[in-house]
Amino acid sequence: MSLRAAIVGMGRWGRTLVESVQDEAGAGIRFVAGSTGTPEKASDWAASKGIRLLPDYPAVLADPEVEAVVLATPHGQHAEQVIAAARAGKHVFVEKPFTLSKASAEAAVAACREAGVVLALGHNRRFLPGVAELRAMLGDGRIGTLLHVEGQFSGPGAIAYRPGMWRADRHESPLGGMGGMGIHMIDMMINLAGPITEVTVHSTARVLENGLDDTTAMLCRFTSGATGTFATLAYAPRCWRVALYGSEGWAELSDHEHLVYRPREGEGFVRDFPKVDIERAELAAFAAAVRGDAAYPLPLDQAVHGVSVFETMIAAAASGGGRAVP
Neighbours of 1 (CB within 10 A): 6
Of 17-26, 165-174, 210-219, the least confident:
165-174
Mean per-residue pLDDT, 204-219: 91
* Pick from 262, 217, 258, 221: nearest CA to 241: 258
Tell how far CA 227 is from the center of its chain.
22
Cβ–Cβ < 8 Å for 315, 188: no
In one-letter notation, the amino acid at residue 26 is G
Same domain, 234 and 269: yes
Beta bridge partners of 323: 199
* Predicted pLDDT of residue 225: 98
In one-letter notation, the amino acid at residue 239 is C
- Three-class SS state of 302: helix
* Predicted pLDDT of residue 96: 95
What CATH code is carried by the domain that includes residue 9? 3.40.50.720
* Predicted pLDDT of residue 27: 95
* Pick from 45, 41, 96, 95: nearest CA to 71: 95
Cβ–Cβ < 8 Å for 6, 60: yes
Q: Is the pLDDT confidence value at 25 over 90?
A: no
Name the residue range of residue 299's domain.
126-324
Domain final position from 96, 124, 152? 124
What CATH code is carried by the domain that includes residue 292? 3.30.360.10
Same domain, 209 and 149: yes
Q: Over the range 187-199, which residues count as b (16 or more CB within 10 Å of their CB) and which as e?
A: bbbbbbbeebbbb
Same domain, 244 and 300: yes
* Predicted pLDDT of residue 73: 96
Neighbours of 301 (CB within 10 A): 11
* Predicted pLDDT of residue 44: 97
* Predicted pLDDT of residue 160: 77
* Predicted pLDDT of residue 209: 83
Percent of the chain with pLDDT over 90: 91
Same domain, 94 and 148: no
Same domain, 304 and 245: yes
Percent of the chain with pLDDT over 70: 99
Kindly report whether the peptide bond that precedes residue 39 is cis, defined as omega within 30 degrees of 0: no
What DSSP state is assigned to residue 297?
S
| pLDDT single digits (tens) 90-127 | 999 999 999 999 999 999 999 999 999 999 999 999 99
The total of structural domains in the chain comes to 2
Same domain, 289 and 313: yes
Same domain, 116 and 138: no
Q: Cα separation of 202 and 199, whole Å?
A: 10
Q: Cα separation of 91 and 278, whole Å?
A: 20
Mean pLDDT score of the chain: 95
Strand-strand pairing, 146-154 and 3-8: unpaired
Same domain, 168 and 81: no
Neighbours of 11 (CB within 10 A): 18
Neighbours of 173 (CB within 10 A): 24
* Predicted pLDDT of residue 57: 98
* Predicted pLDDT of residue 171: 76
Domain final position from 124, 143, 174? 124
Mean per-residue pLDDT, 310-323: 96
Same domain, 85 and 154: no
| pLDDT single digits (tens) 34-83 | 999 999 999 999 999 999 999 999 999 999 999 999 999 999 999 999 99
Cβ–Cβ < 8 Å for 261, 137: yes
Cβ–Cβ < 8 Å for 271, 194: no
Same domain, 51 and 183: no
Same domain, 186 and 302: yes
Domain final position from 105, 124, 143? 124
| pLDDT single digits (tens) 139-181 | 999 999 999 999 999 999 877 777 777 776 777 778 989 999 9
* Predicted pLDDT of residue 95: 97
Same domain, 147 and 97: no
